[in-house]
Amino acid sequence: MINNTMERNDTDLIERIAQEHGLSTASAKAVVDDVQSDADVALVCSECGDTEDDGARVVSAFTDPRDGEKRALCDSCFAGLLESRTMLSPQQARILPLMLAGWGPTEIADALGIDRPNVSVQQSKIRGRVDEAFEQLEEARSTLAVLEDLTNVETNQ
Ligand SMILES: [Zn+2]
């Protein structure tokens, strides 16, 4: 009974949004789905299909490092992406998804089986990585600028 009522309300809402904004029902539904995925309701990991009910610690709308798009990912899949795409250590990659999901250091320490003080140390190292990345980017840019000129000189001779 409760489910039926909820579904009907959802359908009514979609119809109303479609009419008010001159959208097709399908586009209106896509908008509603999008809003709901941001609202953290029963998300399914887009990589492994896990939900918080069947094993994942957290499934949240994380920014996918492969394309910068927001999508539902469980903390394990997101940690895997972070580990392969960033300068974060494996442990930092496991901590960051939980930090972003609003977990406190004590909860993170319990969930990952690491010491509470170590979690705090890793959290500040994660923040430090951003500054480090900017520094390395600057260095890489100036290296590229210099070496590009060098290459031009060599090919001109
Ligand atoms: Zn997953």
Ligand 1 centroid vs 81 CA: distance in angstroms? 10
- Going through the chain in order, the beta strands assigned E by DSSP cover 59-63, 70-74
Q: Which amino acid is at 140?
A: A
Residues whose beta carbons lie less than 5 angstroms from ion ligand 1: 45, 47-48, 50, 74, 77
Cα distance between residue 9 and residue 14, in whole Å = 9
- CATH number for the domain whose boundaries are 86-157: 1.10.10
Q: Domain segments of the chain: what residues? A: 1-74, 86-157
Chain centroid to Cα 101, Å, comes to 9
- List, for residues 33-68, the tens digit of each pLDDT value: 666 655 555 789 999 999 998 889 999 999 998 898
Angle between helices 90-100 and 75-85 (to 10 degrees): 130
Ligand 1 centroid vs 114 CA: distance in angstroms? 22
Q: How many CB atoms lie within 10 A of CB 72?
A: 21
- Burial readout 79-110 (b: 16 or more C-beta within 10 A, e: otherwise): bbbbbeeeebeebbbbbbbbbebebebeebbe
Ligand 1 centroid vs 157 CA: distance in angstroms? 55
- List, for residues 71-125, the tens digit of each pLDDT value: 999 999 999 999 999 989 999 999 999 999 999 999 999 999 999 999 999 999 9
pTM for the model:
0.65
